[in-house]
Amino acid sequence: MAILVTGGCGYIGSHTAAVLTEAGREVVIVDSLVNSKALVVNRIEALTGRRPAFYKADVRNEQALAEVFETHPIEGVIHFAGLKAVGESVAQPLAYYSANIEGAAALLRVMQRQGVRRLVFSSSATVYGDTDIIPYTEDLPLQPMNPYGRTKAAVEWMLTDLYHSQPGWSISILRYFNPVGAHPSGLIGEDPAGIPNNLMPYITQVAVGRRPELGVFGGDYPTPDGSCVRDYIHVMDLAEGHLAALGLIEGSHGLFVHNLGSGRGVSVLEMVKAFSEATGQAVPYSIKPRRAGDLPAYWADASKALRDMNWRTHRSLADICRDAYEFQRQNPKGYVETT
Ligand code: NAD
Ligand code: WQD
């Protein structure tokens, strides 16, 4: 039996595909490569000694998806495929509604027809939006503040309605906080196209000399050092969370919602300091104006994941920094097609 990993060439999907393969699972990847490279499949093979089956296809292409289900004995799906840049979602909402909502709907229709009813869905802490209640618990109302977040909330509602409409579905919704870091081998990691939107890839690109300095967005927030506070989670801990979630939906029927975070808040300036200490690389930075839409501080209450699936993070901030740097050091220009 196999697990279909949509978006499995991407950042989180590739690490999860590696963890699943190491755990003895058969992995089948479907990815349109809109934000990733096919050579990631070679890297997963190099890491694990087993090559996942790979199909270049858009999840909105139901015919292509159906062929994958007809070729492999798929018993469950982890759905990563989608678009994820908040700023881009404001500029191009229709592209986000299409990829994220139509993509999920197409996948669910095919699963329905094929009789496969186990799904793990990549949601995001961004669905909580602005609230004074910190840390975030899963029972907070969803009030996303941007189109990207609204597509994630919409898919969560779609999954909830589907679950209640038909017996047999078993669904895990995972709300990730800030995924960072890389596989400790340095073979796979985060490889954003163009100028990184996110903090950690920006830091690693500064560390290898691709960019002169980090701009810290805001130094006057009501936080201990004035910079924003987030809950950073090592991508390997996150990948292991998917294995735990699969175990949960395989062991029982239900609709489960879990935060995946470390439960600890770390500021931008703390991250810069931790990175320099862990890697020995200086990260020049200057304080810039606040970035529109940023919240001052939030982190996860991750106790429900510990209770329900015996999952928690194990890796430290130093592990995160060292592993992120190792990927960037080995791949200074990211994934390059000849490697
Ligand atoms: P990513 O862009 O690296 O990976 C997504 C993958 O999906 C890419 O390989 C891309 O080519 C593929 N893809 C996109 N649209 C597709 C489509 N229509 N059909 C087939 N493939 C398609 O992003 P990631 O960081 O690995 O995120 C994975 C999932 O986790 C996304 O759903 C994202 O919204 C969610 N998420 C990410 C973060 C984060 O900070 N990275 C946080 C919370 C949730
Ligand atoms: C982290 C902190 C920035 C870059 C985003 C999405 C969220 C989720 C995770 C998908 C913030 C600061 C950043 C830089 C900086 N993704 N920063 N200089 O915004 O917390 O969350 O990714 O679901 O939905 O919004 O992550 O990495 O962009 O920023 O100072 O060059 O780093 O202001 O405080 P964010 P991030």
Determine the Cα–Cα distance for residues 51 and 48; give it in Å rounded to an integer. Answer: 8
Question: Does residue 220 lie in a domain region?
Answer: no
Question: Does residue 192 lie in a domain region?
Answer: no
pLDDT score recorded for residue 333? 95
Question: Does residue 208 lie in a domain region?
Answer: no
pLDDT score recorded for residue 130? 87
Taking alpha carbons only, the member of 323, 308, 134, 295 closest to residue 237 is: 323
179 close to ligand 1 (CB < 6 Angstrom): yes
Give the CATH number, domain containing residue 11: 3.40.50.720
Which of 15, 31, 43, 151 to mutate for ligand 1's pocket (most ligand atoms within 8 Å of CB)? 31
Per-residue pLDDT of the chain (339 residues; tens, 9 = 90+): 999 999 999 999 999 999 999 999 999 999 999 999 999 999 999 999 999 999 999 999 999 999 999 999 999 999 999 999 999 999 999 999 999 999 999 999 999 999 999 999 999 999 999 898 999 999 999 999 999 999 999 999 999 999 999 989 999 999 999 999 999 999 999 999 999 999 999 999 999 999 999 999 999 999 999 999 999 999 999 999 999 999 999 999 999 999 999 999 999 999 999 999 999 999 999 999 999 999 999 999 999 999 999 999 999 999 999 999 999 999 999 999 754
Question: Does residue 284 lie in a domain region?
Answer: no
Taking alpha carbons only, the member of 21, 62, 300, 35 closest to residue 176 is: 300
Q: What are the DSSP calls for 93-128, one per residue?
A: HHHHIIIIIIHHHHHHHHHHHHT--EEEEEEEGGGG
Nearest ligand, CA of residue 192? Answer: 1
**Omega into 201 within 30° of 0, i.e. cis?**
no
Total domain count, the chain: 1
The residue segments making up the domain with residue 79 are 2-181+231-261+300-311
11 close to ligand 1 (CB < 6 Angstrom): yes
What phi, psi does 312 have (nearest 5°)?
-155, 165
pLDDT score recorded for residue 339? 45
For ligand 2, atom 1, the nearest C-alpha belongs to: 199
Taking alpha carbons only, the member of 223, 242, 216 closest to residue 134 is: 223
pLDDT score recorded for residue 15? 98
Per the CB < 8 A criterion, the answer to whether 27 and 21 are in contact is: yes
Determine the Cα–Cα distance for residues 119 and 97; give it in Å rounded to an integer. Answer: 20
Nearest ligand, CA of residue 98? Answer: 1
Query: How many other C-beta atoms can be found within 10 angstroms of the C-beta atom of residue 242?
Result: 26
Taking alpha carbons only, the member of 270, 287, 278 closest to residue 230 is: 270
Residue tagged active-site, from 96, 128, 148, 325? 148
Q: Is residue 148 annotated as a catalytic residue, yes or no?
A: yes
- Provide the 3-class DSSP secondary structure of residue 180: strand
pLDDT (tens digit per residue) in 101-132 = 999 999 999 999 999 999 999 999 999 998 98
Q: How far does residue 199's CA lie from ligand 2's centre (Å)?
A: 6
Question: Does residue 12 lie in a domain region?
Answer: yes
Nearest ligand, CA of residue 191? Answer: 1
Question: Does residue 164 lie in a domain region?
Answer: yes
Question: Does residue 167 lie in a domain region?
Answer: yes
Question: Does residue 330 lie in a domain region?
Answer: no
Determine the Cα–Cα distance for residues 142 and 259; give it in Å rounded to an integer. Answer: 13
Which of 15, 29, 32 to mutate for ligand 1's pocket (most ligand atoms within 8 Å of CB)? 32
